[in-house]
């Protein structure tokens, strides 16, 4: 009888424990692992979000830049961290490329992470050094066909979305350029601005500022519509490369075994942060569009991106290990 009478108390206690996890979290600072160096597009968005979440969660969220291996170093750190909500991954599109480009990963990008929310999305922009004698994408393609592999392009690293954006363009247009990989979007941008590389697909936050001051020439926006921050630059489809869409999305992930209550709280706080007028304006100024998807929506989108870029890797023969 004593055992039976204790059962309701045990059940009630266990039922009460789950919401307490969310109520008590966070009780210390949170580490947000960022896969690329400071100054790039993903880093800019990550720091805007971290600053806002620091204010609303009541604990410091620290952006920890761990560049290298197309974001896989940062992803591995986050995947192997304790699933307690105190180590998060601020990933970008490169995470959806990793399963196709790398066959020897020590983690599974789909199984080892719990999506929290897509944070923002913005297109890549094809840019050239102003001294390159091309004024549009058609002229660039004509030059590339006349001088195969003479033209060079910089990227944020082999296996990143900037790399695959060019792989897609090459597949669709039948040209071949020489790849110059760098360690992040910022050095890739510097390479094309300095003339080390002829062209590059740069993320909107990096590209638009330099196009405005004529340090780079904008050739094409890899989106369905033109970007409000650089409306004079046509889309890649308008420029003649049909089907060329390459978006840099950013999103927040946690290790897959993280308690659901913590995932839900982080999702709510992230969506609320993206609804803040100051945050929205700061992202808009960078050419980024706030998103704020549900974990389920983000998971479905991630799977679709992995399938799309996996096909590009297969068709282009891109393997990085």
Where residue 101 sits, what CATH number does that domain have?
3.40.190.150
Residue 133: inside a domain: yes
Q: How many domains does the chain contain in total?
A: 2
Residues 54 and 150 reside in one and the same domain: no
Residues 113 and 153 reside in one and the same domain: no
Strand 113-128 to 247-255 pairing: antiparallel
Please, what is the average pLDDT of the chain?
A: 90
Domain enclosing residue 136, as ranges: 123-221
CATH number assigned to the domain comprising residue 177: 3.40.190.10
Residue 236: inside a domain: no
H or E element at residue 108: none
Residues 56 and 108 reside in one and the same domain: yes
CB atoms within 10 A of CB 21: 15
Residues 206 and 256 reside in one and the same domain: no
Residues 192 and 148 reside in one and the same domain: yes
Residues 129 and 95 reside in one and the same domain: no
| Preceding omega of 258 cis (within 30 degrees of 0) | no
Each residue of 234-280: pLDDT tens digit? 999 999 999 999 998 999 999 999 999 999 999 999 999 999 999 99
Maximum distance among all alpha carbons in the chain?
89
Q: What is the pTM for the complete model shown?
A: 0.80
Residues 84 and 132 reside in one and the same domain: no
Residue 66: inside a domain: yes
pLDDT on residue 100 = 82
Q: For residue 55, what are its two tokens?
A: 């204010």
d(Cα 18, Cα 32) in Å, to the nearest integer? Answer: 24
Residues 157 and 104 reside in one and the same domain: no
Residues 104 and 89 reside in one and the same domain: yes
Secondary structure (DSSP) of 198-248: SEEEEEHHHHHHHHHTTSSEEEEESSSS--TTSTTSPBTTTTT-TT---EE
Residue 238: inside a domain: no
Residues 139 and 158 reside in one and the same domain: yes
Each residue of 44-62: pLDDT tens digit? 899 999 999 999 999 999 9
pLDDT on residue 23 = 63
- E-assigned strands of the chain? 30-34, 61-65, 87-92, 113-128, 152-155, 178-181, 199-203, 217-221, 247-255, 289-290
Residues 18 and 156 reside in one and the same domain: no
Q: Specify which residues 63 forms β-bridges with.
A: 32
Residues 141 and 283 reside in one and the same domain: no
**Cα 197 vs. chain centroid, distance in angstroms?**
23
Query: Contact 210/186 with Cβ under 8 angstroms?
Result: no
pLDDT of 72 over the 80 cut: yes
């Amino acid at each position: 009888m004593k055992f039976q009478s204790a059962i309701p108390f045990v059940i009630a206690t266990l039922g009460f424990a789950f919401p307490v996890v969310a109520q008590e979290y966070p009780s210390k600072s949170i580490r947000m692992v960022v896969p690329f160096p400071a100054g790039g597009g993903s880093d800019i968005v990550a720091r805007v979000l971290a600053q806002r979440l620091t204010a609303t969660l009541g604990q410091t969220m620290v952006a920890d830049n761990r560049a290298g291996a197309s974001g896989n170093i940062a992803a591995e750190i986050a995947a192997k961290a304790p699933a307690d909500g105190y180590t998060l991954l601020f990933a970008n599109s490169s995470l959806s490329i990793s399963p196709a480009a790398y066959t020897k990963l020590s983690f599974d990008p789909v199984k080892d992470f719990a999506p929290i929310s897509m944070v923002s999305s913005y297109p890549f922009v094809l840019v050239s050094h102003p001294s390159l004698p091309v004024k549009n994408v058609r002229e660039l393609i004509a030059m590339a066909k006349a001088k195969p592999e003479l033209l060079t392009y910089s990227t944020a690293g082999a296996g990143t979305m900037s790399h695959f954006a060019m792989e897609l363009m090459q597949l669709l247009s039948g040209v071949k350029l020489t790849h110059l990989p760098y360690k992040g979007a910022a050095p890739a941008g510097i390479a094309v601005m300095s003339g080390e590389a002829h062209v590059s697909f740069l993320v909107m936050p990096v590209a638009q500022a330099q196009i405005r001051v004529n340090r780079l020439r904008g050739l094409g926006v890899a989106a369905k519509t033109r970007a409000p921050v650089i409306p004079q630059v046509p889309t890649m489809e308008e420029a003649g490369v049909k089907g060329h869409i390459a978006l840099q999305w950013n999103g927040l992930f946690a290790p897959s075994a993280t308690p659901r209550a913590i995932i839900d709280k982080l999702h709510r706080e992230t969506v609320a942060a993206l609804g803040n007028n100051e945050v929205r304006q700061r992202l808009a100024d960078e050419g980024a569009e706030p998103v704020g998807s549900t974990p389920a929506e983000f998971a479905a989108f991630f799977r679709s991106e992995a399938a799309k870029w996996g096909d590009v890797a297969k068709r282009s023969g891109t393997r990085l290990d």
